[in-house]
Every structure is written in C-alpha cells, then in structure tokens.
Structure 1
C-alpha cells in the first residue's frame, strides 16, 4: 500500500457510494415509519450526488465504472426510496394497490430516464426532469406534510414521473 500512487478515480465513487447508502437508509427509515428521517436521507443523497460529479470533474477522474455506479445509485436513492416513502406515507393503509401503481410508475420512469441519459450525449441540457430533482422534490414535500393535503403527493409523483420521461429540455445548472 505504501509507495503506490493513489488512484483519484475512487474519490467520486466514495461520494456515489454514500449516495447509495443514504438511499438504502431512506428505505429502511420509511419502512419503519420514520418518514422525516427517510426524507432527510434522500436529501443527503442529493448532496452526495452533487458532490460526486463536482469531484470527478475537478480531479478529471471520470470513469465508465463511476458513471454506471452513479446511475445505479440514483435509481435507488431518487427512484425507489421516494416511491417507498410516499407509499408508506399516503397509501399503505388506504389504497395499497393504487399506491403500488403510482409508486411503481415513479420508480420505472426514473429508471427509464437514467437509461436514456446514459446513452444521450447532451452537454447543455437534460432531456426530461432529472431523477435527482424528482426524488429530492418528493422528499421536500414530505418534510412539509403537515401543511400539504395528502392528495398532492400522488399528483406530484405522477406529474414528475411523466416529466422524467418527457422530451422537455432542462438546462444544466452549476456544472
């Protein structure tokens, strides 16, 4: 270990792995009905997702492995975790079948959006709303659940699902 050069490509992957871990924790917290903690974990995933890209660009440490790990982490943290969170909060005890459909649609559209992102070569804009925004937005909504009628959640989740797979051009910010 000593005397060898450090491969800087690992640094962005550390942030990406933290993104995935916080997404996993969000699912666990949601299943245990610690909904605000789950939302907080999703927001920490947003932070880690932002940092992995910044670190990769700064160190010129992008790799195919890192890009794949990032997409896999994002589908868990911003597709599945928010879907489980909203399912537990809104649907579990009232309309479980409807909730499974809406939450499943959100996760599926997030995965499709990431698959499309991985094969497109756009540098100035995203095609469709980024999954990080969609998942982070749902987490933020939940943090204010005492001020928002429950009916807003399935509508917001459905609209965001459609926007993720839309052809809407969303400018890239903060690169």
Structure 2
C-alpha cells in the first residue's frame, strides 16, 4: 500500500484558501460582488484550518508558513480591496481610489512579512490580515444589499490598513 504522505492535507487547505481568493478576484470581472465576498469567507475557513491541521499532524514547515502568507495576501489583501474598489465605485476618486486599493494589500504584505520573521509569543503585533480582509469582505457584503457611502469605505480601509501595520498587541484567540 505504500507510505501515506500526510503532508498534502495542510497544503490542501492553504491552496483552497488561495483558489478561493483567485476566484473572488475573477468574479469581480463579472460584477458578482456577493459571490466574491462569499469566496473570501470560504477562504477564511480554509485559512483557519491549514495551520491547525499541520500542527496537529506535527508536519508544520517553513514552506507551509510561506505558502500560507502568499495565499493570505491574495485572499485577504488583494481580493477584499478590489471588491471594495469595484462595489463602492472608488474609481470616482481617481488616484485616491487606486491608492486605497494599493495601500490595503501593501500593509497586509508588511504585516505578513513581519509575522513570518518575528518569534511568536502568543500575541499578534498588528491586526492579522485575515481579520482585516474578512472584515472588509463582510462590510462589502453588507454594502451589496444596502448602499454605503464611499467615504465610509475609505475610512474603513484606511483604519484596517493602519491596524495591520501597527504595533498593537492582540492576543491569539
């Protein structure tokens, strides 16, 4: 029967996270905002379990940590920012709208990189990108049902961006 390699299971969750983020971005081309938000939510579920499964099976690895960060950047950095940009018509703000969409994943990328090189002591420094992206996606889902003003969207994106790069300690739940 051979040796069963259990290392595929955490990576399955990580790649599911990434696939959901990519699908969310692709759905934006068809203005399927609710579905895009839904796939970001599904990505969060997959992200919740990749590390847990790896630690449970005692197969966590440096490459798994890096893959997780890359997937998170797409699913919780790019996808929610692009969703907010499209749904709340931030294009009307010209370069300011583009700057918001760029700032959000840039702050998320910095937050992920800092996490990857900092020893974990049971608390996060800065808001995890998963929480920031999930919050923005839920806000956008609400905005797909009820019109929300673009300035509120911009304020939320700026606040979440700042919180991701801040040095505030957040206890792991």
User: Where on the TM-score scale, by shorter chain, does this alignment land: which range?
Assistant: over 0.9
What does residue range 124-143 of structure 1 map to in structure 2 within 5 Å?
124-143=122-141
| Alpha-carbon spacing, 1:166–1:32, altered in 2? closer, same or farther (3 Å) | same
Aligned partners of 2:31, 2:46: CA distance in 1, in Å?
A: 24
Q: Tell me the TM-score normalized by structure 1.
A: 0.93
Aligned partners of 2:169, 2:29: CA distance in 1, in Å?
A: 35
Q: Tell me the TM-score normalized by structure 2.
A: 0.94
Range with bigger deviation, 117-126 or 16-25: 117-126
Selected match of 1:33 from 31, 34, 38: 31
| Residue 160 of structure 2 is aligned to residue 160 of structure 1 | yes
Aligned partners of 1:32, 1:107: CA distance in 2, in Å?
A: 22
SS in structure 2 at match of 1:72: helix
Question: Do 1:9 and 1:63's aligned partners in 2 also have CA atoms closer than 8 Å?
Answer: no
| Alpha-carbon spacing, 1:96–1:34, altered in 2? closer, same or farther (3 Å) | farther
1:58 equivalent in structure 2 = 56
Question: Do 2:88 and 2:148's aligned partners in 1 also have CA atoms closer than 8 Å?
Answer: no
Q: State the Cα RMSD in Å.
A: 1.2
Structure 2: which 5+ runs fail to align?
Answer: none
Question: Do 2:90 and 2:150's aligned partners in 1 also have CA atoms closer than 8 Å?
Answer: no
